[in-house]
């Protein structure tokens, strides 16, 4: 009989919130969601272990005590406990004490998740009886053909910075906080056209997609008298007015771009048109950092197809596997993975669970800087 541990179960007061913590802090991936109420999640943890998070009936204060009878903690193997401590501290983790000697050799450092469950980092010395470490210098497992999402191809792990040559930025929701402004522009134009209360558009379905995609659906639904080009121009003009007035560059983004430009080739791959891209990049003199800018209108298919990312890589002269994409939308994540690139998804627009297929999910530009520099 062959036995192997498939997963560990973790009962939670709030399964969704605890799931988000493991994704955000430890780089776990959501591989299954029940869709029930309350929900159950299966996460793939760094190193490959599966963790089931489900609704618990009650909790006791002693859960976080290591000497309470029963399974008491999860140990997370790392190559450098000091580096991992720095990363986790930046993500809001508070450690319960100093680094200590580990049984069997090495070092341990304890901390708790949002519900008080006990975890610890462990660093083992070379030649340890515990075998070769599957850890990385970061906290996410290395992505290769065995662990990458279907269709992603072979991708570099984000901690292998030497393998990356180019960083590709999405525009809306990554460089500029513009998704609400796009919706505002559309609503104003719809109202002027007489569809203020009857446009029937769910704007969240178009995050990361081009204006053309939304207008095509609108025209198919309502058959307005205005030609397509006029509709496109009406919305674009309205949005550009709002963009120039609001100047919604994300705080911390210009500094990140300047630092990345000193090490990598940079590009923009956006669902927006070139006039919108150029206007946005002119707001804080960002255009000088991006020698390559590609719009969804430049390629046959928009996101989630990989066309725009493959075109950027071609213009940069960089292999797809040496590119990392920064995205905020699920369709962008899907397209970048399909192009064989790694993806950092930032939760500016969508929640963690919508971005779980990304190589890494972060909530700040500081996290992106720590991953890439």
CA distance 271 to 277: 9
DSSP assignment of 109-166: EEEE-TT--EEEEEE--TT-TT-S----SSSSPPP-TTTSPTT--S---TT-GGG--E
Helix (H, G, I), strand (E, B) or coil at 25: helix
45: closest CA among 69, 60, 25, 66? 25
Residue 116 has a CB neighbour count (10 Å cut-off) of: 14
Question: What letter would DSSP give residue 322?
Answer: G
- Give the pairing of strands 360-362 and 342-346: parallel
Asked if residues 355 and 174 have their Cβ atoms less than 8 Å apart, the reply is no
Query: 205-224 burial, b for 16+ CB within 10 Å, e for fewer?
Result: ebbbbbbebbbebbeeebeb
CA distance 272 to 278: 10
304: closest CA among 240, 250, 354, 243? 354
CA distance 152 to 150: 6
Structure tokens at 144: 């290769």
Helix (H, G, I), strand (E, B) or coil at 327: strand
Q: Sheet harboring 50-55: ordered strands across?
A: 7-12, 50-55, 41-44, 29-33
60: closest CA among 11, 109, 96, 113? 11
First-to-last alpha carbon distance for the chain, in angstroms, is 47
- Which positions are catalytic? 170, 172
342: closest CA among 171, 207, 90, 160? 160
Asked if residues 148 and 154 have their Cβ atoms less than 8 Å apart, the reply is yes
């Amino acid at each position: 009989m062959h036995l192997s541990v498939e997963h560990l179960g973790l009962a939670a007061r709030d399964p969704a919130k605890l799931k988000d913590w493991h994704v955000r802090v430890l780089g776990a991936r959501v591989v299954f969601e029940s869709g029930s109420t309350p929900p159950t999640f299966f996460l793939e943890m760094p190193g490959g272990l599966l963790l089931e998070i489900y609704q618990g009936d009650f909790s006791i204060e002693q859960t976080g005590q290591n000497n309470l009878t029963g399974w008491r903690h999860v140990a997370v193997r790392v190559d450098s406990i000091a580096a991992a401590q720095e990363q986790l501290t930046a993500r809001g983790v508070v450690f319960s004490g100093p680094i200590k000697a580990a049984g069997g050799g090495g070092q341990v450092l304890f901390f708790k998740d949002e519900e008080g469950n006990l975890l610890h980092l462990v660093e083992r010395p070379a030649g340890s009886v515990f075998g070769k470490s599957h850890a990385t210098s970061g906290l996410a497992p290395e992505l290769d053909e065995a662990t990458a999402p279907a269709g992603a191809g072979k991708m570099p792990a984000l901690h292998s910075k030497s393998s990356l040559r180019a960083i590709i930025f999405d525009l809306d929701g990554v460089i500029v906080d513009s998704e609400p402004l796009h919706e505002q522009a559309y609503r104003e134009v719809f109202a002027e056209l007489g569809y203020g209360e009857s446009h029937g558009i769910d704007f969240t379905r178009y995050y990361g997609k081009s204006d053309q995609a939304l207008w095509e659906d609108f025209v198919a639904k309502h058959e307005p008298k205005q030609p397509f080009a006029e509709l496109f121009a009406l919305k674009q003009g309205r949005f550009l007015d709002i963009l120039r007035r609001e100047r919604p560059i994300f705080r911390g983004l210009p500094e990140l771009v300047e630092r990345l430009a000193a090490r990598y080739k940079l590009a923009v791959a956006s669902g927006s048109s070139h006039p919108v891209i150029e206007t946005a990049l002119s707001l804080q003199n960002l255009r000088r950092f991006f020698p390559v800018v590609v719009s969804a209108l430049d390629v046959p298919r928009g996101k989630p197809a990989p066309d725009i990312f493959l075109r950027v890589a071609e213009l940069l002269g960089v292999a797809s596997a040496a590119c990392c994409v920064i995205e905020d939308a699920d369709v962008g994540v899907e397209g970048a993975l399909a192009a064989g690139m790694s993806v950092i998804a930032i939760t500016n627009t969508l929640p963690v669970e919508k971005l779980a297929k990304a190589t890494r999910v972060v909530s700040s530009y500081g996290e992106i800087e720590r991953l890439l520099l």
